[in-house]
């Protein structure tokens, strides 16, 4: 029965950090997990299997976070089927990389990256925020990036998207704090995911004071804490998790 459970929506939860977050929230908080994916149905099912194998519950929601109509249709449909429930925890994790120097960057590469992370955060958050405010309870956790704080060459689009997400986190946190809704961001550095594997992990490890890449589960532990009652007074913060690479 999911009626007694908190509901958590994680976007881009078919692999990597998103999958780890979905599994950890189920394990730590006994949440019913809404696993969002855009195209990787196999990965989404793998995440769901991991959750159910450990005794948790979840379901899969397919939509493109950058498409407002798709987001609203999917989430409104879920709400109609579950009128007594509301999505209490939202983790805006979906993101893509299309790296390249600005001078040669196609407009589509800029738009795709910004629309996935930044507009995707707007689309999903706006669709779930009203119920949080009505219930006077909610956690919004935005997965930003080192790129959004420091800026990385070859990632002007990604840096802009994640930097915008960070600024939006700080502003929204002030709008909703009185309703017991917190909004925080996490800025991972280099984490062991398919995104980083496209680069040279050995070279990247040499740049990091900790001498290694981070693990998706380490990001998930932090998300789990921010989603808990123990983090109720943390709001509008951006927390780095990068092995000492940048502070």
- The model's pLDDT over 108-122, given as tens digits with 9 standing for 90+, comes to 999 999 999 999 999
Per-residue pLDDT at 215: 97
Per-residue pLDDT tens over the stretch 179-219: 999 999 999 999 998 766 556 677 788 899 999 999 999 99
3-state secondary structure of 137: coil
CA distance 91 to 95: 12
**Catalytic annotation on 221?**
no
| DSSP three-state, residue 241 | strand
How far is Cα 242 from Cα 245, in angstroms, rounded to an integer?
6
Q: What is the pLDDT of residue 33?
A: 98
Catalytic residue among 37, 122, 158, 221: 158
DSSP, residue by residue, 170-191: HHHHHHHGGGTEEEEEEEE-SB
The full length of the chain comes to: 247
Measured CA to CA, the distance from residue 223 to residue 150 in angstroms comes to 21
33 and 231 Cβ atoms separated by less than 8 Å: no
For residue range 131-159, list pLDDT tens digits in order.
999 999 999 999 999 999 999 999 999 99
Name the residue with tokens 């994916």. Answer: 37
């Amino acid at each position: 029965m999911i009626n007694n459970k908190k509901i958590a929506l994680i976007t881009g939860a078919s692999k990597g950090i998103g999958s780890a977050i979905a599994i950890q929230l189920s394990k730590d908080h006994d949440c019913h997990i809404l696993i969002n994916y855009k195209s990787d149905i196999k990965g989404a099912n793998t995440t769901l299997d991991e959750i159910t194998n450990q005794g948790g519950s979840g379901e899969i929601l397919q939509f493109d976070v950058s498409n407002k109509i798709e987001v609203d249709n999917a989430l409104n449909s879920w709400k109609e089927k579950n009128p007594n429930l509301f999505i209490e925890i939202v983790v805006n994790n979906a993101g893509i990389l299309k790296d390249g120097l600005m001078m040669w960057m196609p407009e589509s590469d800029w738009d795709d990256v910004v629309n996935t992370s930044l507009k995707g955060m707007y689309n999903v958050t706006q669709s779930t925020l009203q119920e949080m405010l009505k219930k006077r309870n909610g956690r919004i956790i935005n997965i930003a990036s080192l790129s959004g704080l420091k800026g990385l060459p070859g990632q002007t689009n990604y840096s802009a998207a994640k930097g915008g997400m960070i600024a939006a986190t700080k502003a929204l946190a002030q709008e909703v704090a009185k309703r017991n809704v917190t909004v925080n961001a996490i800025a991972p550095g280099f984490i062991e995911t398919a995104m980083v594997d496209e680069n040279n992990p050995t070279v990247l490890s040499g740049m990091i004071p900790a001498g290694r890449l981070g693990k998706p589960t380490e990001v998930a532990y932090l998300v789990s804490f921010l989603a808990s009652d123990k983090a109720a007074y943390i709001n509008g913060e951006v927390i780095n998790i990068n092995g000492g690479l940048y502070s």
